[in-house]
Chain A
């Protein structure tokens, strides 16, 4: 199957292409340097061409997403679309059903999405849902930060055992990377408590969040995993948490990356860049975060941008969600996973006239605009915590147009003037920046830049064509056109197949599920398994054989190999 895309205004940041009219040749699902005359031709007509979108942090599948659906029939009834010849029915806005999840990402030109967090014990459920999500390539990050074996091995300072556990945990969960959420807090939530900073000691394990984060970073690099440790900082959602966030970022200097990427990715910083001491004097400290990452090379972040309107907060940060539910007098769903993490789901509605929401909205934008290098700050809304992913085009338009931002600022609570810097920021990102923050940058952060997020030879043929001409449009003024173009791709091509044309689904192939198979020395695994078997004997309520995710749950797997690197490289 050959395809030729001509006359596109191509943005391929990895390969330095910023709007050139180059041809893209596709054969058998990959980008190649030439095709025969039999190739089907798509004339992009001078329109914007980018690699397919890559989303490194989104809650699209698994136990807590389903809790969100069950809890929110009123959300499900928004966005109901009956089935068509080609597509199954779509429902939901903040918690879409599995079909809507795939179709809507594809309609925006996205082709790769990673589920932000799965507990090992619940991973089978995550994969069942991923198996139902059409079109996109996907994967899931596995939670390790509050797992009993993690904390035991961290306390014992046994990095070999910890590495063996992480490798085994990724196999057990068919996970792609190491996710750490409020480390130590998930365990404390089992007692109804939380940690209050990096140096709290978790009882019964006697380790601190600091130790957990550093140890997992070390092990992540020992194993040479494609992605770095992906951290949701302690004290999320607490005024004054900026201190914890910066202190967490500083931990990155203790470990050297073994791949060409960051050593720590800090996620949805909108919720963690807070100054002040309470809801009354709460203010943005996004500039401090931006300043920090502008001056270091080993930390990346993503925005977690807030979008006004309905959202559903869902996270493994159990204690934060309890606090949220009480604060908002809202419905509350809670889960505690034995020996592992926690989860909480609470619906929320972001309102422009509420000062806290307005400030949070500004923070996400500040993070993107004050960080100099777009490779360091990815565009996300922490779907559906900040807002549903279908609003990414709104975020793109805000970043590209100061005019739009100023218009919005007029309609939100005036606190943005005193408590944030957003009114005075006039930087406008260009298409190259956006292509980095939504494609090349996210692929690089995930360690997948060889095949994703670019349009060079060897890349997967995942391409998006948008209905606007970069050399004829002024995004600053025509931001509405930019937004509608990104909402509905002219073409989305996945693996060389046209899946979306003019915003309509034209094909629904199954994507692949990425997971990492990391190897460690056999002896290390054996020693580690002694501890694990003990845990299953004494604590887990299912057997070891039932725990591992079976092959049957990944019908289209894509295995990425990793493993213990020689000592010199470390």
Chain B
């Protein structure tokens, strides 16, 4: 079992790209090695040790590595990017691209995440206890597929373009969600606890369940009737008809 604790030292104003903060990168490394791993602040190359207080206990493989982060990481991007195993626990807010391209392991955030959390996720679990921002679990510009697997849970709310271009996996937001969730989707499952607007536009496949109200329905969905999902009755729609979509949209 390897535990790495990371605490913020000073206020970070210019964003830091810290894709090296990942159980895969830390596994089996010593404290000194981790402290000298590079991070970029703008175009200034620095090290993790310069930016943060880092302590390492024990050693292990990625799957046995736990990273515990505490402080204000609201200007630290790409934490947990590409991780395949292990655990990251964060107390504080984080910047964009949390857990992007992760394919395994688990990230739990007690705080808010900025945009593109879980971008192009392939597997693993991402839990955000606060709020998420734009493009949660979305793809990269131009790609036909974004998130392909794994699970994202948000206890708070999220903003626009949730799960855009999703091809697989699951996103569960307990609170409200902004505009156009499930945009251009081709698979996957999105559950929205609160309200939203214009869900499932250009959806080809996949499932979206909205438990709150939908301010505006896109006029491209065909009402199939009522259906019960997990004991709750919803109005079931199929669409987006413009793309010959076979997506399923459940609205309370």
Q: Is A74's CB under 8 angstroms from B243's CB?
A: no
B243 in contact with A77 (CB, 8 Å): no
Is B224 interfacial (CB 8 A cutoff)?
no
- CB contacts under 8 Å to B, within A71-89, are 71-75, 77
In angstroms, how far is the closest chain B Cβ from the Cβ of A424? 37
State which of B142, B143, B243 has its C-beta within 8 Å of the C-beta of A329.
Answer: B243
Return chain A residues, CB-CB under 8 Å to B143. Answer: 74
Please give the distance in Å from A83's CB to the nearest CB on chain B.
Answer: 12
Closest to B204 in A: A329
Among B140-172, those with CB < 8 Å from A are: 140-143
Q: How far is the CA of A329 from the CA of B140 in the complex (A)?
A: 19
Smallest Cβ distance from B138 to chain A, in angstroms?
13
Within the complex, what minimum Cβ distance (angstroms) separates B166 from chain A? 16
Please determine whether A72 and B243 come into contact, CB atoms closer than 8 angstroms. no
Cα A71 to Cα B142 with chains together (Å): 7
Q: What is the 8 Å Cβ interface bit string for chain B, positions 95-121, against chain A (1 contact, 0 not)?
A: 000000000000000000000000000
Q: Tell me which residues across on chain A come within 8 A of B141, comparing CB atoms.
A: 73-74
B196 CB → nearest A CB, Å: 26
The contact string, 1 if C-beta is below 8 Å from chain A, for chain B 120-143, is 000000000000000000001111
Task: Give Cα distance in the complex from A72 to B144, angstroms.
Answer: 11
Bound state CA distance, A74 and B141, in angstroms?
6
Nearest Cβ in chain B — how far from A468, in angstroms?
36
B interface bracket (residues with beta carbon within 8 Å of A): under 10
Shortest beta-carbon distance from A222 to chain B in Å: 47
List CB contacts (< 8 Å) of B212-231 with chain A. Answer: none
- B143 nearest CB neighbor, chain A only: A74
Please name all residues of chain A whose beta carbon is closer than 8 Å to the beta carbon of B142 when the two chains form the complex.
71-75, 331
Alpha-carbon gap, A467 to B143, bound state (A): 37
A72 to B143 alpha-carbon distance, docked (Å): 8
The residue on B at minimum CB distance from A329 is: B243
Q: CB-CB < 8 A to B140: which residues of A?
A: 73-74, 77
Question: B140, B142, B143, B243 — which one has the most chain A CB atoms within 10 A of its CB?
Answer: B142
Per the bound structure, the CA–CA distance linking A71 and B144 in Å amounts to 12
How far apart are the CA atoms of A267 and B243 in the complex, in Å? Answer: 35
Distance, CA A331 to CA B144, complexed state (A): 10
Expressed in whole angstroms, the Cα–Cα distance for A72 and B141 within the complex equals 8
Which of chain A's residues has its CB closest to B139's CB? A74
Among A72, A74, A75, A331, residue most surrounded by chain B Cβ atoms (within 10 Å): A74
Residues of chain B with a CB closer than 8 A to A331's CB: 142
Q: How far is the CB of B13 from chain A (nearest CB, A)?
A: 25
Question: Which residues of B lie under 8 Å from residue A75 when comparing CB positions?
Answer: 142
User: How distant is the Cα of A71 from the Cα of B141 in the complex, in angstroms?
Assistant: 10
User: How many angstroms from the CA of A534 to the CA of B243 in the assembled complex?
Assistant: 45
Cα distance A331–B202 in the bound complex, in angstroms: 13
Q: How far apart are the CA atoms of A524 and B151 in the complex, in Å? A: 73
Instruction: Tell me the complex Cα distance, A364–B142, Å.
Output: 30
Compute how far the CA of A329 lies from the CA of B244 in the bound complex, rounded to whole angstroms.
10
Question: In the assembled complex, which residues on chain B have CB atoms less than 8 Å from the CB atom of A71?
Answer: 142
User: How near does chain B come to A245, taking the closest CB pair, in angstroms?
Assistant: 32
Shortest CB-to-CB span from B202 to chain A, Å, is 11
Q: Which of A312-331 contact B (CB under 8 A)?
A: 329, 331
Q: What's the minimum C-beta distance from A329 to chain B, rounded to whole angstroms?
A: 7
A93 → B minimal CB distance (Å): 13
Residue ID in chain B nearest A331 by CB atoms: B142
- Residue on B nearest A77 in the bound complex, by CB: B140
With both beta carbons as reference points, the residue of chain A lying nearest to B244 in the complex is identified as: A329
Complex: chain B residue closest to A74, CB-CB: B142
Contacts of A74 in B (CB 8 A): 140-143
Q: 13 A-B pairs, CB-CB below 8 angstroms?
A: A71-B142, A72-B142, A73-B140, A73-B141, A73-B142, A74-B140, A74-B141, A74-B142, A74-B143, A75-B142, A77-B140, A329-B243, A331-B142
3 pairs of A and B residues whose beta carbons are closest in the complex: A74-B142, A73-B142, A74-B143
Extra inter-chain contacts (10) besides given A71-B142, A331-B142, CB under 8 Å: A72-B142, A73-B140, A73-B141, A73-B142, A74-B141, A74-B142, A74-B143, A75-B142, A77-B140, A329-B243
